[in-house]
Structure 1
Amino acid sequence: MPIPVEAVTATALIVVVRISGLPTVPGEPYPGSVVGHWVGNEAADALALIGDLPGGEQHRCGFSPGWGIRAYEDSLDRVLFEAAFCFGCHEIRMHGAAVPPPLTKQLFDAEAPQAQALLALFRAATP
């Protein structure tokens, strides 16, 4: 799955969110509870997994994401990008200053080993 390279290299912190709904305004953060923080190698490993997600086919569920990440730069003042993952319809939606329009909606193979490893990381982040 393509992630903006400049965003990956600038990411200092990833906030893991257990998503509870959809934003009411496009581009706003996905609502939900922050369940974890990844820095250093944890953040780099998660971004590598996300970057290695193989493409997939659309499934029908209506996009009901359960997990999301917010990637912050070093200053923590600005969200570089937010990505919401729906393992039901195999869709990822991204937005943020570093996300070009062609990358805002992507499909992935939710059954691939990389996707299952990412899902395991999300679940492990939950208290």
Structure 2
Amino acid sequence: MHLPAEAVTATALIEVVRISGLPAGRDTPYPGTTVAHWIGSEVATALSLVESLSGGEQHRCGFSPGWGVRAYEDSLDLALFEVAFCFTCQEIRMHGRTVPSGLAKQYFDPDTLPARTLLTLFRTATP
């Protein structure tokens, strides 16, 4: 998967979100409960896993993401980018101030080791 390189370098904190629905608008954050905050090596591990997700084929499920991440720089101002993952239809949607339109929708194979590891990290982050 491709992430905006400058934003990845600037990411100091990741907010893990258990998504509960679709956003009200195109650049509106996905609604849900923040279940964890990752910093330091956790950020590096998570972004490395996301970037190593291999391309997949689109499957139709209506896009019902269960998990998302929001990346912030040191100022913790607006999110650099937000990524929503649907492990059913194998689709990733990304938006934010650092995301070019060409990266907004991507597909991945949820059966690969990086995808399963990422899903495990999400699930273990839930209180």
The TM-score by the shorter chain falls in which range? over 0.9
Q: Which residue of structure 2 aligns with residue 52 of structure 1?
A: 52
CA distance in 1, matches of 2:16, 2:98: 18
**What SS does structure 2 have at the residue aligned with 1:3?**
coil
How many Å apart are 1:97 and its aligned residue?
A: 0.7
TM-score with structure 1 setting the length: 0.99
How many Å apart are 1:6 and its aligned residue?
A: 0.3
Amino acid of the structure 2 residue aligned with 1:79? A
How many Å apart are 1:60 and its aligned residue?
A: 1.1
Q: Which runs of 5+ in 1 are unaligned?
A: none
Q: Which residue of structure 1 aligns with residue 40 of structure 2?
A: 40
Structure 1 residues 71-100: Cα deviation after superposition (integer angstroms, max 9, x where no partner): 001100121000000000000000001100
CA distance in 2, matches of 1:96, 1:77: 12
Give structure 1 regions of 4+ aligned residues with deviation exceeding 2 angstroms. Answer: none
Q: Which residue of structure 1 aligns with residue 84 of structure 2?
A: 84
Q: Which residue of structure 1 aligns with residue 112 of structure 2?
A: 112
1:93 aligns with 2:93: yes
How many Å apart are 1:70 and its aligned residue?
A: 0.3
How many Å apart are 1:120 and its aligned residue?
A: 0.3
Q: Aligned residues, how many?
A: 127
Amino acid of the structure 2 residue aligned with 1:113? L
CA distance in 2, matches of 1:121, 1:64: 19
Amino acid of the structure 1 residue aligned with 2:81? F
Amino acid of the structure 2 residue aligned with 1:51? E
CA distance in 2, matches of 1:73, 1:79: 8
Amino acid of the structure 1 residue aligned with 2:25? V
Structure 1 residues 54-74: Cα deviation after superposition (integer angstroms, max 9, x where no partner): 000001100000000000011
CA distance in 2, matches of 1:19, 1:78: 18
CA distance in 2, matches of 1:78, 1:18: 19
1:75 aligns with 2:70: no
